[in-house]
Amino acid sequence: MAAVVSASSVSKDPSSDFLPRTKSPSFSIFDSKKNLGKLEQTHLGLLSFCKSNQAFTLRAAREPPGLTQELSFKKLENVEVQNGHDQFIQIKERFLSFKRHRYLENLEHYQSLAKAQAPKVTSLSILLAFFPMEQFLVIACADSRVCPSSILGFQPGEAFMVRNVANLVPPYENGPTETNAALEFAVNSLEVENIFVIGHCCCGGIRALMSMQDEADPSLIGSWVIVGRNARLSTKAAASNLSFDQQCRHCEKESINRSLVNLVSYPWIEERVKKGTLSIHGGYYDFVDCTFEKWTLDYKNSSKEEIGKFSFKNHAFWS
């Protein structure tokens, strides 16, 4: 049996421009020595190309239908890398992976989300089918190490996310901010059933709060973290004998509790909490030991009038 290799048969699409070309149409391994030499040159050219383009070798074997597209991406990436390190290359690959393995494999789910703002969708049957868990508004720190979608597995459509420095919730009387604008939208328009404030260890925002010497700090960071002044004051009073790092850890949890109490200073939040249609929860993620604590504000047994007198229930520790 004669084996025939054609230089033009490797790819019939435009991506074949990437391949080494030869003017010879095809060769039999039983042809003359002259033709055999040309065949060897063709093989060597292909081998050289594959060695310098390893992604071509692997992807060609695994995903033949997408070879043209993969080669185009590889060529673009090579140009970008030559011009300097481009971090968007990896981000692009993550997006394409998401599209292939998540979006396209769950197309009906994502199309349903496109019809209505998450976390509520127009069809209750779709909601129950895709989102068996209750709907959440999550308020978390902007720190990249504590992404709620990563550590708690929230999927698109399950939670309305708000992230700011130190996961703070300002009281209603402080006036409009982007955080309480998001609160109003999530509670009144999306009608979420749970608000979950998530803090974490080693928080730079809380450390900045605890380090402040003057509450009139003119910086943008200082003017924001001062929202947690009550947590700072109560920490200084209760943990003055502890090291600064321990005080910061104490304040990280105390600021979560203060934010939970601040939430019920919003009339439309308090009304829903009274009716039992909205619950308020706190959470604390320790990424050093990889543990998580969760608790719920016990509104009925809490007192907004007496500072520091608020109760919590359903405390859980996950490790």
Q: Give me the domains of the chain, ranges plus CATH numbers.
A: 11-80 (no CATH), 132-318 (3.40.1050.10)
Name the band, by pLDDT with cuts 50, 70 and 90, for residue 20.
very low
Q: Summarize the annotated binding site for Zn(2+) as residue ranges.
A: 141, 143, 200, 203
pLDDT at residue 137 is higher than 70: yes
**Least confidently predicted of 5-19, 91-105, 216-230, 258-272:** 5-19
- What pLDDT score does 304 carry? 57
Mean pLDDT of 226-248: 95
Between 6 and 115, the higher pLDDT residue: 115
Name the band, by pLDDT with cuts 50, 70 and 90, for residue 302.
confident
List of residues 6+ apart from 18 with CB closer than 8 A: 49, 53, 56, 71, 75
- What pLDDT score does 128 carry? 42
- What pLDDT score does 2 carry? 44
Q: Summarize the annotated binding site as residue ranges.
A: 141, 143, 200, 203
CB atoms within 10 A of CB 276: 9
- What pLDDT score does 111 carry? 82
Cβ atoms of 46 and 19 closer than 8 Å: yes
Give the mean pLDDT of the chain. Answer: 76
pLDDT at residue 75 is higher than 60: no
Beta bridge partners of 29: none
Name the band, by pLDDT with cuts 50, 70 and 90, for residue 281.
very high
Mean pLDDT of 254-270: 96
Mean pLDDT of 281-287: 96
- What pLDDT score does 108 carry? 86
Mean pLDDT of 131-158: 85
Between 156 and 318, the higher pLDDT residue: 318
- What pLDDT score does 113 carry? 74
pLDDT at residue 7 is higher than 90: no
Angle, helix 244-263 to helix 204-211, in steps of 10 degrees: 100
The C-alpha atoms of residue 36 and residue 24 are separated, in whole angstroms, by: 11
Residues in the chain: 319
Nearest of 195, 179, 201, 205 to residue 272 by alpha carbon: 195
List of residues 6+ apart from 201 with CB closer than 8 A: 249, 252, 284, 285, 286, 287, 288
What is the percentage of the chain residues whose pLDDT exceeds 70?
65
- What pLDDT score does 30 carry? 41
Max mean pLDDT among 91-95, 139-143, 153-157 falls in 139-143
Name the band, by pLDDT with cuts 50, 70 and 90, for residue 86.
confident
pLDDT at residue 210 is higher than 90: yes
pLDDT at residue 178 is higher than 50: yes
Cβ atoms of 277 and 190 closer than 8 Å: no
- What pLDDT score does 83 carry? 55
Nearest of 308, 202, 199 to residue 249 by alpha carbon: 202
Cα–Cα separations (whole angstroms), residue 4 to 7, 27, 44, 45: 10, 6, 16, 17
pLDDT at residue 279 is higher than 60: yes
Both tokens of 204, joined, read: 């730079």
The pTM of the full predicted model, rounded to 2 decimals, is 0.66
- What pLDDT score does 109 carry? 79
Cβ atoms of 142 and 225 closer than 8 Å: no
- Taking the alpha carbons at both ends of the chain, their separation in whole angstroms is 64
- What pLDDT score does 119 carry? 52
- What pLDDT score does 250 carry? 98
Q: State pLDDT tens for residues 306-315.
A: 555 779 999 9
C-alpha dihedral over 22, 27, 30, 31, to 10 degrees? -70
- What pLDDT score does 117 carry? 58
